[in-house]
Amino acid sequence: MRDHFELRDGDLAGRIGRLSVPRAGVTVETPALLPVVNPNIDTISPVRLESEFGADILITNSYIIKTNEHLREEALDVGLHEMLDFHGAIMTDSGSFQLAEYGEIDTTTEEILQFQRDIGTDIATPVDIPTPPDVAREQAETDLEITRQALADAEAADTGEMLVNAPVQGSTYPDLREEAGRHADATDLDVFPVGAVVPMMNAYRYDDMVDAVAAAKRGLGVDAPVHLFGAGHPMMLALAVALGCDLFDSAAYALYARDGRYLTVRGTEHLEDLEYLPCTCPICTEYSPDDLRAAGSKEQEQLLAEHNLHVTFAELRRIKQAIRDGDLMELVEERARSHPAMLDGYRALLDHVDQLEREDPASKGAFFYASNESAHRPEVARHHARMDRLTAEGHVLLTEGGVPSGDDFDATWRVVPPFGPFPRSLSETYPLTAEVPERLDRDAYEQAARGVSRLVEENPDAAFTLAHDDWPDSALARVPESVELESLSTVSERLADERDEADEDDLSDGDDAGVEGDSAGLSDE
């Protein structure tokens, strides 16, 4: 077990953790954002990141510092913390980004790790190969071998108390990502960045990003702190946290501000298009869009960068509270409705439901069914798996409610879409207390039918009757043929007709009696 990373709470694969950074003497609560600080550009100073935004960790580029004579001498002379005027933890990149952009860099893993240690880095990075998406498999495998050698060189280096990253590469090949994660997890390195996902996010390929991270997580241990390199847009943070990512870094807050772009949890807006500022951060409460547009370019850039950071840190706090409350999936689903590509990412997340279910808490506060995707949540998969533990004997009625046509049953179980059947004694247990809309979609009924099918398969000696409330044909087709089907609405209509007929008979009998009585009375007279 890695003693520098402690898990405190969790929901889905997301978790609140404590990352101890011994060289800095600080503990960082995760999920955490590492604002990117360019040592050549002072958009928002590190001291302000710490004092005004609450940043207790940031990231800068050691290769830029190493190749700039002035910066190199200052960093070696006074150390990175004093040079940047920052008291929290500092992670440094190695130049791998420059390697990906320009094809080569003038350093090795041994050299850059030594330099990072010399300038006081707290979390260092070796020179890995960030293989872009969609390359030939042969290239991805070759690059992965180079990255493995970099990890071996990092293990062999004398790094003291400095933590060291073990990047997980593999392009868009899930098996290579999983293999790379397993290899990295077996090292004695400390933090595990999933690399080369920026091109996917820039192209709005959130589904591919999800698949890459999910594959890496399958190879990594639960106790491995995972850093999603280059990810920091507030729109996608909930999705990434739900996958099990703990650290995020991004220069987007500054780069977007430079381009007049305004971040929100629903996407990116251009300042020139805004008539109102849909935010309550200090910038948006003090300034109007006209004020920001009237500001000088430098002031406007800084104000937008501040807003972008405020909204990003606020989203991380919202995510942490969602983890505490056990409703992270509801937040992910809400964010997924902000963009079709985010919805693709959410659906890709649900493709890994069995993987999520292994880490998702068994009990939470509430389950809100908000869309057909809700039918595929981990809680539903877990309930179906638990059918294997339940025993049904004799003739069992599975009913959504209402009145069945007969009462010759040995047991009566409830059926609630999307979960399916369960004994009545479990009715008040999570997630069977789910808030479900009256107008359900086909996915909910089809998942309930899968639950029925699993129960029948596990109890071949029992007989079952399913009393359903007009399930769609697509759901009924998934119910085993051995199950007797009964539509509650049809039964209700038949019973209503029978009651009406009985009432008419009673009324008819009463009329006859009245006539006879009157006749008798007249006769007596």
Active site residues: 93
Compute CA 323 distance to the chain's CA centroid, rounded to the nearest angstrom. 10
Angstrom distance (rounded) from CA 439 to CA 436: 9
**489 vs 228, 276, 400, 494, 496, CA distance in Å?**
52, 51, 11, 9, 10
Angstrom distance (rounded) from CA 27 to CA 314: 20
Angstrom distance (rounded) from CA 263 to CA 161: 37
Question: Given the structure tokens 């992270």, which residue do they identify?
Answer: 328
| Measured CA angle at 335 (ends 420, 324), to 5 deg | 70
Angstrom distance (rounded) from CA 190 to CA 164: 5
Do the Cβ atoms of 415 and 448 come closer than 8 Å? yes
Angstrom distance (rounded) from CA 289 to CA 500: 68
Q: How many CA atoms lie within 13 A of 249 on its CB side?
A: 22
Angle at which helix 174-185 crosses helix 137-156, to 10 degrees, equals: 10
Angstrom distance (rounded) from CA 233 to CA 251: 9
Q: 3-state DSSP call for residue 413?
A: strand
Six-digit token pair at 29?
A: 């609560």
Q: 3-state DSSP call for residue 93?
A: strand
Q: What are phi and psi of 487, to 5 degrees?
A: -85, 120
Angstrom distance (rounded) from CA 54 to CA 355: 33
What length is written for the chain? 525
Check whether 305 is labelled as a binding-site residue: no
Provide the 10 A C-beta neighbour count for residue 137: 12
Provide the 10 A C-beta neighbour count for residue 488: 20
Check whether 245 is labelled as a binding-site residue: no
Angstrom distance (rounded) from CA 328 to CA 400: 29
β-strands 5-11, 14-21 pairing: antiparallel
**145 vs 137, 176, 300, 312, 324, CA distance in Å?**
12, 11, 45, 36, 40
Amino acid found at 50: E
**510 vs 127, 406, 496, 514, CA distance in Å?**
97, 30, 21, 6
Bind-site residues for substrate: 128, 196
Bind-site residues: 128, 196, 279, 281, 284
Bind-site residues for Zn(2+): 279, 281, 284
